[in-house]
């Protein structure tokens, strides 16, 4: 079994669906941070059978929890200080996301208006449905993993 | 400063005040003949719509104001590639209020975000057409006496028909309304509308044949099958004549049922129905001017 050492200061994203850690890495723009990142794929898990884990040594404020919650609000966010877990953050679906997903409705103004951000608003938290702010095109939050 | 993007931008109480004002304009037009003296309405129409544009122009003219604008994208700076954001910034320098129609959904909202003057959504693609909805609501309230306590049938193109979607969204705020959706399978009302009705516990049914439900309706809202909403000619030709209202079907309806239509019609209402006192669609066009007059006054915060 592969061992990855614990981090002193930062956060651990646990219970990522197996194989999805690189997508999370990209969405959180971790490539732009000058810090240590460990990507663990297909770790054994009692709860999920297999899971991915991301360990990042940086300030928790540098993490966009809204984006993370939109991607998968079942991910566990452990905040680490002095090598210990000091907080487990509960993720909730953000009310609005900006430039995370694109509106694919060809009739939407976002398809032609230059530099207009793609903004989606949470329409129904129960079914995790988001709608484009401009044209109300539907986007199922859960669809991104299928 | 307020804009109008969707009929839901106004509360039910605010709509009541708007409709009271529209009815007052209907009764005492002279009182309002100079209410907008010195004011300018810009009609920015990126796609042709003679009816809505003329209704806005008539409304502003009857209030004593003036109108500038363009009636298709080819005669605007959009043909040179100017963004909606830039156009509205310029229009804000020329006019006091703007009515915008655009083929792209959400374009008037982009304009409103950048505008220094009130923006009215005069139709954005297949999305919203709030002033048509205000027209429909004013017509129903004026001719039926109230907004609520009725069964309304919506017939024709319920999939692409933005007037239908806007009207449903506006009517759900009133009490005791039952919806009957009458359309071919291919043009059924979108799932987000039926999901919303289910979530709010509002009764609705979807049927194929118009004559089966005619006796139960208090209002019948007819729509045309719009050619421009189809991707191919074959589908359009196959579906356009699906539902035609004629005297035989009207004979099945209640004596006080009203027929509404956003106009223009093609052939979905036979001309023989025009002389039926229950045909309210031409009166509806007149209410469209009154409600736009009331809207212009309200958004410009002009008290008379």
Active-site annotation holder among B39, B53, B62, B101: B101
**Residue of B83, B106, B199 lying closest to A135 (CB–CB):** B106
Taking the CA atoms of A68, A72, A74 and A76 in sequence, report the sign of the dihedral they define: negative
Establish whether the linkage from the previous residue to B264 is cis, with ω within 30° of 0: yes
Q: What is the pLDDT of residues B169-183, one digit of tens each?
A: 899 999 999 999 998
B51 is catalytic: yes
B23 or A140: which leads in pLDDT? B23
ipTM value for the complex: 0.84
Q: Is the pLDDT of residue B286 over 90?
A: yes
B52 is catalytic: yes
Residue A79 CB neighbours (<10 A):
16
DSSP codes, A77-144: EEEEETTEEEEEEPP---SEEESSS----TTBGGGTSTT---EEEEEETTTTEEEETTT--EEEGGGG
Q: Does domain B7-128+288-299 have CATH number 3.40.50.1370?
A: yes
- CA torsion A72-A73-A75-A79 (nearest 10°) is 130
A9 or B221: which leads in pLDDT? B221
Q: How far apart are CA B186 and CA B208, in angstroms?
A: 11
Sheet of A119-124: strand order equals A96-98, A119-124, A129-132, A138-140
Q: What is the pLDDT of residues B82-115, one digit of tens each?
A: 899 999 999 999 999 999 999 999 999 999 999 9
Average pLDDT, chain B: 92
**Cβ neighbours of B84 in A, within 8 Å:** 109, 113
- Choices 3.40.50.1370, 3.30.70.260, 2.60.120.10, 3.30.70.141: CATH for B131-285: 3.40.50.1370
Crossing angle between the packed helical segments B12-27 and B281-299, to the nearest 10 degrees? 110
Contacts of B226-232 spanning 24+ positions with Cβ under 8 A = B226/B157, B226/B160, B226/B161, B229/B126, B229/B157, B229/B160, B230/B160
Q: Is the pLDDT of residue B148 over 80?
A: yes
DSSP codes, B94-154: H-SEEEEEESSBTHHHHHHHH-SS-EEEEEETTTB-HHHHHHHHHHHHHHHSSSSSEEEEE
Q: Is the pLDDT of residue B129 over 60?
A: yes
- The pLDDT value recorded for residue A72 is 85
- The pLDDT value recorded for residue A145 is 44
Q: Is the pLDDT of residue A44 over 60?
A: yes
Q: How far apart are CA A103 and CA B105, in angstroms?
A: 11
- The pLDDT value recorded for residue B74 is 78
Chain B residues with CB within 8 Å of chain A CB: 83-85, 102-107, 109-110, 124-127, 192, 199
- The pLDDT value recorded for residue B136 is 97
- Model-wide pTM > 0.80: yes
- The pLDDT value recorded for residue B294 is 98
Q: How far apart are CA B10 and CA B5, in angstroms?
A: 10
- The pLDDT value recorded for residue A74 is 85
Q: How far apart are CA A32 and CA A13, in angstroms?
A: 18
Q: Is the pLDDT of residue A5 over 80?
A: no
Nearest by Cα to A118 from A139, A140, A97: A97
Q: How far apart are CA B44 and CA B78, in angstroms?
A: 11
Confidence of residue A83 (pLDDT cuts 50, 70, 90): confident
Nearest by Cα to B297 from B54, B37, B90, B27: B37
> Chains A and B: how many Cβ contacts under 8 Å?
48
Average pLDDT, chain A: 88
- The pLDDT value recorded for residue B240 is 65
Beta bridge partners of B144: none
Active-site annotation holder among B2, B51, B188, B286: B51
- The pLDDT value recorded for residue A144 is 55
Locate the domains of chain B by residue range. 7-128+288-299, 131-285
- The pLDDT value recorded for residue B50 is 85
Nearest C-alpha of chain B: how many angstroms from A46? 37
Q: How far apart are CA A107 and CA A105, in angstroms?
A: 5
- The pLDDT value recorded for residue B229 is 61
Q: Is the pLDDT of residue A51 over 50?
A: yes
Domains of chain A: 10-89 (3.30.70.140), 96-145 (2.30.30)
B283 or B157: which leads in pLDDT? B283
- The pLDDT value recorded for residue B228 is 67
At B42, which helix (H) or strand (E)?
strand B40-45
Q: Is B77 helix (H, G, I), strand (E, B) or coil?
A: helix
Cβ distance B84 to A113 less than 8 Å, yes or no, reads yes
The two tokens of residue A94 are 């953000």
- The pLDDT value recorded for residue B231 is 65
Contacts of A61-64 spanning 24+ positions with Cβ under 8 A = A62/A33, A63/A11, A63/A28, A64/A28, A64/A29
The two tokens of residue A137 are 């095109």
The two tokens of residue B145 are 């006496």
Tell me if A119 sits within 8 A of A133, measured CB to CB. yes
How many percent of chain B have pLDDT more than 70?
A: 97
Would you say the CATH fold of B131-285 matches that of B7-128+288-299? yes
- The pLDDT value recorded for residue B266 is 84
- CA torsion B73-B74-B76-B82 (nearest 10°) is 80
Q: What is the pLDDT of residues B227-283, one digit of tens each?
A: 766 667 887 777 666 688 999 999 999 999 999 999 988 889 999 999 999 999 999
Cβ distance A109 to B102 less than 8 Å, yes or no, reads yes
**Residue of A107, A113, A138 lying closest to B125 (CB–CB):** A107
Mean pLDDT of B42-57: 94
Q: Is B164 helix (H, G, I), strand (E, B) or coil?
A: helix
Confidence of residue A146 (pLDDT cuts 50, 70, 90): very low
Q: Is the pLDDT of residue B225 over 90?
A: no
Residues in chain B: 304
Q: Alpha helix locations (H) across chain B?
A: 12-27, 50-62, 84-94, 107-114, 130-144, 162-171, 191-199, 210-213, 233-239, 247-250, 281-299
- The pLDDT value recorded for residue B161 is 80
Confidence of residue B185 (pLDDT cuts 50, 70, 90): confident
Confidence of residue A65 (pLDDT cuts 50, 70, 90): confident
Cβ distance A109 to B106 less than 8 Å, yes or no, reads yes
A46 or A120: which leads in pLDDT? A120
């Amino acid at each position: 079994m592969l061992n990855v050492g614990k981090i002193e200061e930062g956060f651990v994203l646990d219970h990522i669906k197996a194989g999805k850690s690189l997508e999370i890495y990209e969405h959180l723009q971790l490539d732009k941070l000058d810090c240590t990142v460990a990507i663990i794929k297909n770790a054994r898990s009692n709860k999920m059978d297999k899971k991915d884990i991301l360990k990042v040594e940086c300030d928790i404020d540098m993490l966009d929890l809204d984006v993370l919650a939109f991607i998968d609000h079942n991910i566990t966010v452990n905040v680490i200080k002095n090598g210990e877990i000091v907080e487990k953050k509960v993720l909730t679906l953000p009310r609005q996301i900006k430039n995370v997903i694109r509106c694919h409705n060809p009739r939407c103004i976002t398809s032609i208006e230059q530099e207009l951000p793609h903004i989606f608003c949470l329409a129904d938290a129960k079914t995790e449905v988001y709608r484009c702010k401009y044209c109300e095109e539907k986007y199922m939050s859960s669809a991104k993993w299928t | 400063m307020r804009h109008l993007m969707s009929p839901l931008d106004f509360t039910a109480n605010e709509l009541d005040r708007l409709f009271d004002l529209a009815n007052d304009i209907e009764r005492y037009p002279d009182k309002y003949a100079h209410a907008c003296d010195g004011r300018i309405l810009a009609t920015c129409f990126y796609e042709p719509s003679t009816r809505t544009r003329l209704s806005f122009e008539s409304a502003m003219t009857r209030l004593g104001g003036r109108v500038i604008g363009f009636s298709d994208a080819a005669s605007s700076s959009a043909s040179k590639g100017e963004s909606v954001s830039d156009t509205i910034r310029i229009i804000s320098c020329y006019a006091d209020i703007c009515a915008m129609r655009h083929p792209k959904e959400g374009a008037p909202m982009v304009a409103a975000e950048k505008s220094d003057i009130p923006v009215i959504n005069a139709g954005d693609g297949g999305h919203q057409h709030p002033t048509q909805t205000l027209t429909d609501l004013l017509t129903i309230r004026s001719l039926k006496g109230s907004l609520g306590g009725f069964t309304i049938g919506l017939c024709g193109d319920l999939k692409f028909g933005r007037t239908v979607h806007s009207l449903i969204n506006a009517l759900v705020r009133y009490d005791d309304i039952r919806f009957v959706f009458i359309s071919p399978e291919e043009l059924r009302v979108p799932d987000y509308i039926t999901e919303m009705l289910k979530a709010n516990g509002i009764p609705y049914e979807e049927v194929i044949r118009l004559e089966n439900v005619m006796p139960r309706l208090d209002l019948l809202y007819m729509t045309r099958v719009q050619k421009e909403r189809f991707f191919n000619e074959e589908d359009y030709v196959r579906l356009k004549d699906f539902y035609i209202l004629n005297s035989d079907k009207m004979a099945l309806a209640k004596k006080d049922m009203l027929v509404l239509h956003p106009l223009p019609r093609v052939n979905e209402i036979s001309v023989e129905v025009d002389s039926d006192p229950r045909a309210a669609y031409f009166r509806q066009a007149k209410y469209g001017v009154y409600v736009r007059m009331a809207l212009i006054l309200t958004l410009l915060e002009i008290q008379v």
